[in-house]
A and B are shown apart, each in its own frame.
Chain A
Amino acid sequence: MTNDIFELLKENRGMLVDRWTTLTLQTYPNESARFYSKEKDQFHNPVGHAMSKGLAEIFEAMLVGRDIQQIRPMLDSMVRIRAVQGFAPSNSLAFLLFIKKIIRDELGAEIQAKGLEQQLAAFEERVDGTLLVAFDVYSQCRQTLSDIKNSEFINRHVQLLKRANMVSEETRLS
């Protein structure tokens, strides 16, 4: 028995990450949620794979208290996927907060019994920090999409436009 929240979370990490992944995938319609959870081949199921891998990595990183910027690449695929799937921004990222509820649901009694609420708050701050980084990644993804859309025509015709003196390298990059 441990009196350290991080030890407690570590002992239960398999179960917690599983629940987190399941709940996240349940933000999709039933048929898709089933497929995303079941199909194990990463190339046939990039969404399910990115989510389960990403959440496991992030959980680990939050446990050891990794620097928030190191978490960024771990979030990348998950957030990149959610950013194009037609979710409202809040719905895109809410899954990161699910872990708070999962911990309270699953381990709440034990945490209370052991008086670990204070420590839990410390862990939850890491969750919040992760969400903030995810927000940066999300807005960068959306920015990339809008840049792509705006410059698609120019990029595809840049040689001809240049020849017609309608675009220079400077205007293209600006």
Chain B
Amino acid sequence: MSQAPKPEELLRVSHIPPKKDWMDPRVDLVPGTWGYPGKASSLETLGLPNPREWNPTDEDWKLPPNWKEIIHEGLKERLEKYRSLKIFLDICVRCGACADKCHFFIGSGDPKNMPVLRAELLRSIYRQDFTMAGKILGTFAGGRELTEDVIKEWFYYFHQCTECRRCSLYCPYGIDTAEVTIIVRELLNLIGVNIDWILGAAANCYRTGNHLGLEPHTFKGNIEYLVDDIEEYVGVRLNPTFNRKGAEVLFIAPSGDVFADPGIFTYMGYLMLFEHIGLDYTISTYASEGGNFGLFTSQETMKRLNSKMYAEAKRLGVKWILGGECGHMWRVLHQYMDTMNGPADFLEVPKSPITGTVFDNAKSTKMVHIVEFMADLIHHGKLKLNPSRNDYLRTTWHDSCNVSRGMGMFEEPRYVLKSVCNNFFEMPENTIREQTFCCGGGTGLNAGEFEYLRMMGGMPRAFAVKHVQEKHGVNRLVNVCALDRAILPPLMDYWAPEVSVSGLTELVANALVMEGEHDRLTDLRGEDIPGMEGDE
């Protein structure tokens, strides 16, 4: 029998063998940190290559025989198409400024999660095969050969990046590792290497219009449930319309808000807000998803999923589109929609029918973010609010990567939150706004099987929340992203128990004084509002 190890012997055994050179591509698939593979049926729905049953823990990943050529050609094509990619691969001076800025590195301690090394996983292949120095000098020039192990390593580490762009903020050259991840995931999709959580959602969306695969009657039914709840808790009966031609505005939210807690309370908020201001709007049961998992698959998939928004806007003859609280939906919209499917000349430049404000920033896409829309309403005094209904909450604000770092939306949500809630406390300066820390589960990493990865990736965010919880008694983490609303609650359960999570519009609606409402004794969750027991 062997002797029990001494602690100092254990000291030598690390979870990731430290002595291994980063150039060695072999990975250990640590349980809880990798995703189940995309199902053949999803790939078939989307018309993506190499549909098959396979398992990342198997030796043989059943790649197409000419996989190397496919990756090679795919990279070549993208280097020609995206100048930014070539620049990103060429100009990194390995200064290391980005190295410790990634939440996955900070939380996991795995060096391959340092953005500079993550990009290097692709760069080394590029260097070997696409640069003169690499062709001649090979490994001496930092090049690596493309092998199946490299593909496996890409699968693992490019699904440990949430494309949050925090690293790019610190890079003196603006190198965006998120874009490298986007490209590598696209390359992997060329040979059928992908994860089910992304592919399944994208396939559902392609088939029925939303990630969950809800068909129109179910989608409508879920919203009607929410209407019932509003009647019960608020005392007013709303009548949202579906697929109504000639409405002024088409409203599109992430489908998570239609079916999952706590997003549904945000959806109730949308409905109440629109009623309160008398907006002439309709909801499409076909463009029933604001999110776009195509962004995590390929340009083509993203484009196809995105196009349904304009197709519905055209079919229904609306003037412009209003979008709900979502993160990556806005990344797609802000950065890609116009070039992919725009300009939407058949729509009008969005103009708030209530305040007359023209949203010039949406001149081309014709789509306005609900937070901008609400901030404008509040600014013009168009909402009747009773913020004291939110007094039982002590809130803090999580800047979701895509809308904050990605689009510069910092002040609008804070303005709205402070207008509807009396208790607001910022997290430490170096964890918010541009420097915000990711929730740890965006870009399709919120699948159940990523449970440890998410806890590590979300750790820096969670510690900042815990700090304001201890210091100010914060009990509600507010955000404007549907994925956050799914990912942050379990993260809080683990790191900062007793902090609940909600969207912004939920709190707006808590405070909204609706015409004809009864005594508001509960919030939109149906929970008693402390201090409001019959005293309004």
A interface residues with partner B (beta carbon < 8 Å): 23, 26-33, 35-36, 39, 41-47, 50, 80-81, 84-88, 90-91, 94-95, 97-98, 100-101, 141, 144-145, 148-149, 152-153, 155-160, 163
Contacts and interface: CB of A to CB of B under 8 A. Distances in A.
Nearest to B256: A156
B100 A35 contact: yes
Interface in B16-35: 16-18, 30-33
Contacts of B114: 31
Interface of B: 5-8, 10-11, 13-18, 30-33, 99-100, 105-111, 114, 222, 225, 229, 259-261, 264, 428, 430-431, 448, 451-452, 455-456, 459-460, 463-464, 467, 486, 489-490, 493-495
B455 A46 contact: no
3 closest Cβ pairs, A-B complex: A32-B109, A97-B7, A29-B18
A157 B14 contact: no
A164 B5 CA distance: 54
Given A50-B463, A85-B107, 5 more contacts: A29-B14, A84-B494, A144-B494, A152-B448, A157-B260
Q: Chain A interface mostly helix, strand, loop or mixed?
A: helix
B261 A29 contact: no
Nearest to B491: A148
Contact of B7 (A26, A94, A148, A155): A94
Contacts of A156: 260-261, 486, 489
Contacts of A160: 222, 225, 259, 264
A90 B32 CA distance: 18
Contacts of B17: 29
Given A23-B11, A86-B30, A153 B448 contact: yes
B11 A87 contact: no
Contacts of B16: 28-29, 86
Nearest to A160: B259
B494 A80 contact: yes
B222 to A, nearest CB: 7
Contacts of A91: 10, 13-15
Given A31-B111, A43-B467, A47-B109, A98 B15 contact: no
B455 A145 contact: yes
Most A CB contacts (10 A, CB to CB) among B32, B99, B260 go to B260
A81 B110 contact: no
Contacts of A100: 7
Contacts of B111: 29-32
B108 A46 contact: no
Contacts of A85: 15, 107-109, 452, 456
27 contacts: A32-B110, A35-B105, A36-B109, A43-B431, A44-B106, A44-B430, A44-B460, A45-B106, A50-B463, A80-B494, A84-B459, A84-B494, A85-B452, A94-B7, A95-B7, A95-B11, A98-B7, A101-B8, A145-B451, A145-B452, A145-B455, A156-B261, A156-B489, A157-B259, A157-B260, A159-B261, A159-B264
Nearest to B451: A149
A76 B490 CA distance: 18
Contacts of B222: 160
Q: Chain B interface mostly helix, strand, loop or mixed?
A: helix
A77 B108 CA distance: 15
A131 B127 CA distance: 49
A163 B7 contact: no
Contact of A28 (B14, B451, B464): B14
A39 B493 contact: no
A38 to B, nearest CB: 9
Contacts of B463: 42-43, 46, 50
A86 to B, nearest CB: 4
A38 B7 CA distance: 24
Most B CB contacts (10 A, CB to CB) among A47, A95, A98, A158 go to A47
B106 A148 contact: no
A14 to B, nearest CB: 22
Given A44-B460, A86-B33, A27 B100 contact: no
A159 B8 CA distance: 51
B459 A46 contact: yes
Contact of B494 (A39, A86, A90, A148): A148
B7 A86 contact: no
Contacts of B14: 27-29, 91
Most B CB contacts (10 A, CB to CB) among A32, A98, A145, A148 go to A32
Contacts of A86: 15-16, 30-33, 108, 452
A97 B6 CA distance: 9
Most B CB contacts (10 A, CB to CB) among A31, A100, A163 go to A31
A31 B261 CA distance: 40
A28 B106 CA distance: 12
B456 A43 contact: no
Nearest to A24: B11
A114 B8 CA distance: 26
Contacts of A80: 494-495
A90 B486 contact: no
Contacts of B106: 44-47
A20 to B, nearest CB: 12
A80 B495 CA distance: 8
Nearest to A157: B260
B114 to A, nearest CB: 7
A35 to B, nearest CB: 5
Contacts of A101: 6-8
